[in-house]
């Protein structure tokens, strides 16, 4: 039986400074998956940096743009950080992604490696649940000019400097003044990002189907400054009023240094990331497993 996905790209987690034994183990994992895909009738290619850093030479190598243009599925082996990085890059190509978890938590890389064969086989034949995740487009505006822009699938975070006190941030929503907040920082999180930094800062969980964001202060000076859920059709602007060495991060993978008067403007991206999950997958199953709900309940 021919697979639904004929040309599959493998994208792996790698650390160039990792011990040789760790790199060898990761390479073995990727090659096991590649051999399985071969046996299923798929044409397999490796993402270029993955193949180079892992020393994999027996499969074709493709850049990320080439994967977007040529492949009809991306198989991401690693943790959520690996998935976030490739998801942003492949979003505008519309290539669906499946995640095999080698990380510690795995909210969006949800297939355990030890059962990938049983889980992947029916998915490759078309038996899966499709899950679209929204993204944010963020710009750093300085004197009316965009000096930095990035996509974020999890969150946009404005942080104080490592050695300084609080920052003061002016918050606007659709041009309407909300408040000046003194805090260690401020998080704007998507539903996907609501289980990340936002959650640890006291923010609520948002179901992925909700067209909204959550605005969460980090250690606010005024305790009545609470998280607020906003429609993702709004434009959120955060202006740096006071505080030294402030910075903005986008999914913790892109960083911009900020000056007083800089404005971080966040709007909804028109792009979505397509995730595929095993048939019968439920977001609530993921929450129960990852957040250890119901443990100890008879």
- φ and ψ at 70, to 5 degrees? -110, -25
80 is catalytic: yes
pLDDT value of residue 15: 59
pLDDT value of residue 254: 85
pTM, rounded to two decimals: 0.91
pLDDT value of residue 103: 60
Assess contact for 182 and 215: CB atoms under 8 A: no
Domain ranges of the chain: 7-126, 135-270
| pLDDT digit string, tens, across residues 139-161 | 999 999 999 999 999 999 999 98
Which positions of the chain have pLDDT values less than 70?
Answer: 1, 14-23, 103-105, 296-298
Q: Which residues pair with 247 in a beta bridge?
A: 159, 257
Q: What is the rounded distance in angstroms from the CA atom of residue 120 to the CA atom of residue 259?
A: 48
pLDDT value of residue 105: 60
Which among 31, 22, 77 is positioned nearest to 57, based on CA atoms? 31
End-to-end CA distance of the chain: 43
Superfamily of domain 7-126: Probable inorganic polyphosphate/atp-NAD kinase; domain 1 (3.40.50.10330)
pLDDT value of residue 294: 85
Domain 135-270 indexed as CATH 3.30.70.890: no
> How many Cβ atoms sit within 10 Å of the Cβ of residue 265?
18
Catalytic residue among 80, 110, 131, 251: 80
42 φ/ψ sector (left φ>0, alpha ψ -120 to 50, else beta): beta
| pLDDT digit string, tens, across residues 171-185 | 999 999 999 999 999
């Amino acid at each position: 039986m021919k697979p639904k996905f004929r040309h599959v790209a493998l994208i792996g987690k790698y650390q160039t400074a990792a011990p040789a034994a760790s790199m060898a183990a990761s390479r073995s994992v990727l090659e096991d998956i590649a051999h399985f895909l071969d046996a299923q009738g798929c044409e397999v290619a490796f993402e270029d940096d993955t193949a180079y850093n892992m020393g994999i030479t027996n499969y074709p190598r493709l850049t990320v743009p080439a994967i977007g243009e040529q492949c009809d599925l991306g198989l991401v082996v690693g943790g959520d950080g690996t998935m976030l990085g490739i998801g942003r890059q492949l979003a505008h190509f519309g290539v669906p992604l499946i995640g095999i978890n080698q990380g510690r938590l795995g909210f969006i890389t949800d297939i355990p490696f030890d059962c990938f064969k049983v889980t992947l086989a029916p998915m490759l034949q078309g038996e899966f649940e499709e899950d679209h995740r929204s993204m944010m487009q963020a710009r750093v505006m300085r004197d009316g000019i965009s000096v930095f822009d990035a996509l974020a699938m999890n969150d946009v975070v404005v942080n104080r400097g490592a050695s300084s006190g609080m920052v003061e941030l002016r918050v606007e929503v659709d041009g309407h003044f909300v408040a000046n907040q003194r805090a260690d920082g401020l998080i704007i999180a998507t539903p996907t990002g609501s289980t990340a930094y936002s959650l640890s800062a006291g923010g609520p969980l948002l179901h992925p189907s909700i067209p909204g964001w959550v605005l969460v202060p980090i250690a606010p000076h005024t305790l009545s400054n609470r998280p607020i859920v906003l429609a993702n059709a709004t434009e959120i602007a955060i202006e740096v009023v006071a505080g030294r060495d402030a910075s903005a991060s986008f999914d913790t993978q892109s960083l911009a240094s900020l000056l007083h008067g800089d404005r971080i403007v966040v709007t909804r991206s028109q792009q979505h990331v397509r995730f595929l999950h095993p048939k019968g997958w439920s977001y609530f199953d993921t929450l129960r497993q990852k957040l250890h709900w119901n443990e100890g309940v008879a």
